Amino acid sequence: MHIAIFGASRPMGAQAAALALQRGHTVSVVSRSGASDLAGRAGVSIVKGDATVEGDVRSAVEKADAVLSFLGGGMKNSKDALPNARFAKLITKALRDDIPFVTVSNIGASPESLAHQSPLYRWIAVPLYMKPILEDKREMEATLKSSSLKKWAALRCAQLTDAEPDASKVVVKVDDTISVVSNRTKRGDVSIVALDLVEGKRDDIDTKTCRVLKIETRPNS
């Protein structure tokens, strides 16, 4: 399988690219600068392009059998700010409807989900920092839901950590809006789940259905 990866300069994207290579896939890493730490590795092609430019997105996914996005939220005044809503509009136009696409979202990206978060998160974190990020992810999810793509998933994660991944302790399920924001998720586990989904390897979820999914870690893990 040839997998195009957006956001591969970020930890989750880099981990997903390395894992894809380990599993025998080839990858295209999309980079604005045309540079990547993965340059020179067998099975890796570097595509110079911007995730918010339509022509670049189309070129990057032209030969892809699957697409992963780990684009970040960025600071609201930075050049990288809030690219996900724009990217979703472009990727849904660029992909054939049978190409698997997995992206990363946030717990609280829907009003229903946000209502079940802690008061500290709703009243302090969201107004001070998270509101524009959640709005970006909310618009992204809405675009995916209204698109013609047949195989997409948006992974809603809570607080992310750099702890050693252990996907055996990860639970993936349809987001029923009842979540606990303190449930931490390891970045490496998100990368593993994203790749599992495009490969159709998750036994705990229907990988052939378009869903907003939630990643949780079993207690005491």
Three-state secondary structure readout of 2-24 = EEEEECCCCHHHHHHHHHHHHCC
Confidence of residue 92 (pLDDT cuts 50, 70, 90): very high
What is the rounded average pLDDT of the residues 160-176? 68
Does 177 score more than 70 pLDDT?
A: no
Q: What is the pLDDT of residue 117?
A: 67
Q: Which residues contact 123 (CB under 8 A, 6 or more apart)?
A: none
> What is the per-residue pLDDT for 163?
78
**Does 90 or 126 have the greater pLDDT score?**
90
* Domain 2-217, classified CATH 3.40.50.720, yes or no: yes
DSSP 71: -
Closest listed residue to residue 175, CA positions, set 127, 105, 103, 93: 105
Instruction: Evaluate whether 90 touches 52 at the Cβ level (below 8 Å).
Output: yes
Q: Which of 97, 103, 41 is nearest to 71 (CA)?
A: 103
Does the pTM surpass 0.95? The reply is no
Residue 118 has pLDDT above 60, yes or no: yes
Q: Mind giving me the DSSP string for 160-175?
A: EE-SPP-GGGEEEEE-
Helix, strand, coil content of the chain in percent (nearest 5): 35, 20, 45
Listed by start position, the domains of the chain span: 2-217
CB 192 within 8 A of CB 159: no
Angle at CA of residue 171, ends 170 and 176, nearest 5°: 145
Residue 55 has pLDDT above 60, yes or no: yes
Q: Report whether 200 contacts 177 (CB < 8 A).
A: no
Instruction: Please name which of 79, 71, 66 lies closest in space to residue 13, comparing C-alpha atoms.
Output: 71
**pLDDT classification of 62: cutoffs 50, 70, 90:** very high
pLDDT in tens, 197-217: 899 887 665 555 556 666 665
What's the pLDDT score for residue 169? 65
CB 207 within 8 A of CB 197: yes
Tell me the C-alpha distance between 83 and 103, whole Å.
12
